[in-house]
Structure 1
């Protein structure tokens, strides 16, 4: 028996963008539906599964100009916030209405986004996170995560201890002692998915510090049905809060995160820490995927 209400909602237009990159083959692909009016959660999930990217953003116009209700779905589940899909959606809007300011009402809270066009003609979006927090993680939980990743305690950078960090979604931050350790990613997919689900983690943020304000990062994402997320804005925001909490970066500062290089999809994320505001700003370009 068919559902008349479902039949009455037309098939949504699905856009595809690469976020945190200026070329379609770089960064993190995201699906974008600019008008999801009338779509049920079940249908959004089905669309996200069909698109197959780590996340698809579904926008519903709000009561004011530039205001949108936004929901994010991986191929397996809804997530409270997604940075790269936010950047992709904001750039998609700006291509149609011009650069400016948007306000995205997400399950994690209100996320302002500014889109500017640079001298190079590239549109770049800057999102401002919800207020972040950083929590301790037990030694037993760290050991369990390391075992699932195939890492040893000696693989960790003692200057950047493990923590749980949140800026719209929760992430376990683990810092590698060497770039070589970060480059080798071969983990227990199902085991890590169970570990993350039990702790409400969106990704595990694996990082290596190249310099005072330059990092390389990778994000296993088995809870979303994806081995690795190529560029992760939500984790970047959480990581900025983590660094500030530990005193490893002091505001004002702009950090550069390189992600996706080991996947052949290089992307660049800028993370800004501001005096007097605990929220984190994450910036990046986005480009339509033909």
Structure 2
């Protein structure tokens, strides 16, 4: 692997306690000696949707955790750097908790500071990240038509109760809701066409969802801009989706939502999304575990 021999690359899965589930991520706890090209090379060699790199300590003004555990972090897909990645954040927090113990962390991302709390529940570590302040915007009709054409989804297959939107909670995601579970399960899209649209709209993933119950959703995330067909469990998109539901009046100001992702890929994972009244930020939590190399 193209890296400094002293650089240790850990492998963790996030949003599942089973290494065969959830979303795998590379984690480098000391990337201070790596430049962007070296980090990209590590991420490309691993081939996971994203990998995380701690580049140094971080001391936020007036907001340092009691333990002083603040870190600057960068995220790379096999093709490019991304501004924020939820599952790699969870994976990194779990790796630090295994090394240093559970507690409070703050990660300095290019999108802003992201606090993470790690606790031990029933013998398992569980991490909860708090997003940067989110926002939601409409998508132009022509861009929506292009997205549906790239996915080969007829407009009639959309759920009219969940309107298409672009949601942000550290990265931008196009939210499209399928009317049926069968529509969500049948994913075969034009990789190059969707990638081109996503670059033009500065999207990180497309968040495809199906509502199984008012607070339970099944989701999938095409990720061609990252060089992979689909992301197995997407914390950044989950945060953006929580903000979307609240903004559109589809969830109460205080709510706990369950997102199931990865089932159609054979890597099932569960993401818990929490909305709190009076706080625009979104909390996303899940378990994880180390993957043996």
TM bin (shorter chain):
over 0.9
Q: TM-score, normalised by structure 1?
A: 0.96
Q: 1:127 matched to which residue of 2?
A: 129
Per-residue deviation, 1:60: 2.5
Unaligned runs of 5+ in 2: 60-67
CA distance in 2, matches of 1:121, 1:252: 28
Per-residue deviation, 1:35: 0.6
Q: 1:221 matched to which residue of 2?
A: 223
Q: 1:3 matched to which residue of 2?
A: none
Q: 1:200 matched to which residue of 2?
A: 202
Partner of 1:94, secondary structure, is helix
1:251 aligns with 2:253: yes
Contact 2:58 2:72 in 1 (8 A): no
Give the count of matched residue pairs. 283
Q: 2:10 matched to which residue of 1?
A: 15
Q: Deviations over 1:27-81 (max 9, x none)?
A: 0000000010121000000000011100000012315531100000000000000
Partner of 2:79, secondary structure, is coil
Match of 1:37 among 32, 40, 45: 32
Q: Deviations over 1:132-177 (max 9, x none)?
A: 0000111111111000000011000000000000000000000000
Contact 2:239 2:282 in 1 (8 A): yes
Partner of 1:160, secondary structure, is coil
Bigger mean CA offset, 53-62 vs 162-171: 53-62
Unaligned runs of 5+ in 1: 1-5
CA distance in 2, matches of 1:11, 1:195: 40
Per-residue deviation, 1:10: 4.6
Runs of 4+ displaced beyond 6 Å: none
Q: 2:160 matched to which residue of 1?
A: 158
Q: TM-score, normalised by structure 2?
A: 0.95
CA distance in 1, matches of 2:250, 2:7: 44
CA RMSD of aligned residues (A): 1.2
